[in-house]
Homo-oligomer: A and B are copies of this chain.
Amino acid sequence: MAATIKDIAKMAGVSPATVSRVLSNQREFYSEKTAKKVRDAAKQLGYQRNTSAVELVTRKSRVIAVLVSSTQTNFSNPILNGIQQQAEAHNLSVMIIFAGENKPEMQEKALQTVIERSVMGILLVAVDLDPTNNALLESANIPFIFISMTMKNANFPFISSNDFDIGYQATKYLIKKGHTKIGFAGTDLNSFVGNLRFEGYRDAMRDNQLARKAEWVCGGHFTYEDGLKAMRQYGQKTELTAVIASSDLVGIGILNQANQYGIRVPGNLAILTVDGTQLCDIVRPKLSSVTQSFFEMGVKGMDMLVSESIKEFYSMYTPINIVERESV
């Protein structure tokens, strides 16, 4: 049905080889006169190149696969926007695949599909890859980078915030504001990033000679409900004067539950959230945050993937900065 390169060749009276070279602008192979004939014929036939054929023969594709964990934290959007922007700049296509909620089998299936397509690179956004899939990812010989997720297995390249630093800076900031009893809510200490942040929190407390209590830290997975739950665990008469929320949504959960308890924010309780998305600006009081550079993660991730230098497993941190709003 669709027109092929041969149809164009016939119409223009040249060989398919010439058509191919004209259409991909290999200047030293054709004269302008035949080039025009070819281009006219192509337009007239409504030619669209067949990407499968191209990728088959060239043995590489111009698509970047993005695996994103479907645990819907809202920060994946700015990351994807960054990725998309750079993809356009490099004239690449982006294939986004939801890798499920970090279930090993779903991850494996997602990996299979992208490897079959022999994509030119893989970006893993916020996916906590199960160790059983490590081998599969490596065996494909496709460059990959983790975004917004650092791995215990330090051999994998990543672009992310420094999670230890997030915990440390957040705590230090609150201490500087005069707080001594500081909660830590909404993240699973068994997860790698959760643990890193906690260590930052712990060290900052220690470095300032502040005691901690086990009940000040609450688990969770970055959700709004985790925030509500954390505040309920702290209770109406909590001794805490400040709390670090693992995400904006957690922060909002804490805020709402605190208000319900009659605890005023920031009067009775300061809240500092991690992420700093638009959500911080649309609630009242606006939430102060440790803001991550999500858009930049996407940009840098894509850039690193197309650069040749990823051969040596190179990782980097994107900056974090504390944005003061109204909640501390």
Interface residues of chain A, those whose CB is within 8 Å of chain B, are: 1-2, 46, 48-53, 55-56, 61, 63, 70, 72, 74, 77, 80-81, 84, 93-98, 112-113, 115-118, 139-141, 224, 249, 252-253, 256, 259, 278-279, 281-284
* Known A116-B50, A116-B51, A118-B51: A77·B81 in contact at CB below 8 Å: no
- Measured CB to CB, the closest approach of chain B to A162, in angstroms, equals 27
Are B113 and A93 in touch, CB under 8 angstroms? yes
Which residues of B have CB within 8 Å of A279?
Answer: 282
Are B96 and A48 in touch, CB under 8 angstroms? no
Task: Enumerate 19 A-B pairs (CB-CB under 8 Å) in ascending A order.
Answer: A1-B141, A2-B118, A2-B141, A48-B112, A48-B115, A48-B116, A48-B140, A50-B56, A50-B118, A51-B118, A52-B55, A52-B56, A52-B117, A52-B118, A70-B84, A84-B98, A93-B95, A93-B117, A94-B98
Separation of A2 and B140 alpha carbons in the complex (Å): 8
Which residues of B have CB within 8 Å of A98?
Answer: 80-81, 84, 94
- 14 further A-B contacts with Cβ under 8 Å, apart from A70-B81, A94-B97, A96-B96, are A2-B141, A48-B116, A50-B56, A50-B118, A52-B52, A63-B95, A72-B81, A74-B74, A93-B95, A93-B97, A94-B96, A95-B96, A249-B282, A252-B282
Which residues of B have CB within 8 Å of A95?
Answer: 63, 93-96
Separation of A51 and B80 alpha carbons in the complex (Å): 25
Which residues of B have CB within 8 Å of A252?
Answer: 282
Separation of A228 and B93 alpha carbons in the complex (Å): 37
Which of B52, B77, B118, B139 has a CB less than 8 Å from the CB of A46?
Answer: B139
Which residues of B have CB within 8 Å of A249?
Answer: 282
Separation of A61 and B63 alpha carbons in the complex (Å): 15
What residue in chain B is nearest A256 (Cβ atoms)? B284
* Known A74-B74, A81-B70: A52·B48 in contact at CB below 8 Å: no
- Measured CB to CB, the closest approach of chain B to A50, in angstroms, equals 7
- Measured CB to CB, the closest approach of chain B to A159, in angstroms, equals 20
Are A278 and B224 in touch, CB under 8 angstroms? yes
Separation of A53 and B282 alpha carbons in the complex (Å): 50
Which of B56, B74, B80, B84 has a CB less than 8 Å from the CB of A56?
Answer: B56
- Measured CB to CB, the closest approach of chain B to A54, in angstroms, equals 8
Which residues of B have CB within 8 Å of A1?
Answer: 141
- Measured CB to CB, the closest approach of chain B to A265, in angstroms, equals 12
Separation of A46 and B224 alpha carbons in the complex (Å): 43
What residue in chain B is nearest A260 (Cβ atoms)? B284
Separation of A281 and B283 alpha carbons in the complex (Å): 12
- Measured CB to CB, the closest approach of chain B to A247, in angstroms, equals 12
Separation of A70 and B77 alpha carbons in the complex (Å): 10
Which residues of B have CB within 8 Å of A2?
Answer: 118, 141
Separation of A61 and B52 alpha carbons in the complex (Å): 9
- Measured CB to CB, the closest approach of chain B to A47, in angstroms, equals 10
